[in-house]
Amino acid sequence: MRTIWIALFSLMSALAHANIPLTEALGNGPPIPSAPRLASTGYLLIDARNGEVLVEHNADERLPPASLTKMMTAYIAERELAEGRASFEDMVPISVKAWKTGGSRTFVREGTEVRFEDLLRGIIIQSGNDASVAIAEYIAGSEDVFADVMNQTAASLGMTNTQFLNSTGLPAEGHYSTARDLAILAARTIEDYPETYSIYAEKSFTYNGIRQANRNTLLFRDPSVDGLKTGHTEEAGYCLVASAVRDDFRLISVVMGTDSEKAREQETTKLMQYGFRYFSGKTVFAANEVLPESARKVWFGEAETVELATVDPLYVTLPLGRESAIQATLDAPESLEAPLVAGDVVGTVKIMLGDRVLAESAVAVASDIPEGGFFKRIMDFVLRLFA
């Protein structure tokens, strides 16, 4: 195995595969202060790109999610759009049940039809319970069936501590989620449906002559914030899932169980400021990037050597000032036999911190190497005997 030392300017890494906190695993460097302690029942801060946890407290405690539930309702609606089973122009009938649903509302009227796009904006921006029920009934026939779709979707996303009983987040015994699961959902919303994610940043929406401001007040205070969703019930307290991006570094925070709208905003701001001040992320190697010092001897081929390249991108997260503690290791045979086809996997490259693997990718030959002629093969056969 050969170890490739990467210069400070070209390498940062994340502890996606480690089992200890990021700030406790990186050796010497500029001091990183302890994470802020929030007045919140459960909270989490992650790098949106790789899920690296920067701060957490009670992140796996099952808690009532209130209207954070609507992130899943919107996610399923966005999936319907992306997969062609619905369009913004679809006219959705409004049932008596949808019309009568209490709490925050978009103010749709029973017996009318409303554009799918307007209902989606009503869910995301206005947190409309009536809009959520209407979308649920349109997609699944009934809200009960839609709840099954929600739970199946949650399981497929890896949300292992979540159970939805309705599309709105209105109180129901056994309706729960966790900060970690909601962070997973937020990250997938951003990654899977970028075309509609921009709706989460819209500051107001008017329907039926009634203009309502987005309940995520951070949108009005921090230009780096572009989502996602607030929630509140007496049981759940005040909750907020937020995302912000600065210099291509995106964070997602989840704050659950604060005691006021102001508190959920303040506590979220503490997490975001800590994350952006003391951490950063970078792509170490792009997909299909040729690795330095990776040339391998080729036997029986038209060329004598072949370079190796990553299969997947290697993205990492580090506390600022810890880059020099990282190294990369390439595990691949020192020699290969032709013929070789570009893309043939021959090993792995790992970003390491001591014995810990921070990120890894398969590596493949970067170019085609056809088999050499008869005399080249005979010569290589003899040379390899002595080698």
| Catalytically active residues, by annotation | 67, 70, 127
Q: Rounded distance, CA 157 to CA 43, Å?
A: 20
Measured over the CA atoms of residue 83, residue 135, residue 49 and residue 18, the dihedral's sign is negative
Q: Rounded distance, CA 36 to CA 60, Å?
A: 18
Q: What are phi and psi of 379, to 5 degrees?
A: -60, -45
Bridge partners, 258 (sequence order): 238
Q: Find out whether 252 and 241 touch, Cβ atoms under 8 Å.
A: yes
Bridge partners, 241 (sequence order): 229, 254
Q: Rounded distance, CA 226 to CA 231, Å?
A: 16
Q: Rounded distance, CA 282 to CA 230, Å?
A: 29
DSSP 81-112: HHTTS--TTPEEEPPHHHHH--SS-----TT-
Q: What are phi and psi of 270, to 5 degrees?
A: -60, -45
Judged by DSSP in three states, 299 sits in strand
Neighbours of 88 (CB within 10 A): 13
Query: What are the tokens at 83?
Result: 């997969």
Q: How many helices (H) and strands (E) does the chain have?
A: 9, 19
Q: How far is CA 337 from CA 7, 99, 304, 323, 377, in A?
A: 32, 70, 10, 36, 10
Residues ≥6 apart with Cβ < 8 Å to 364: 308, 309, 311, 342, 343, 344, 345, 346
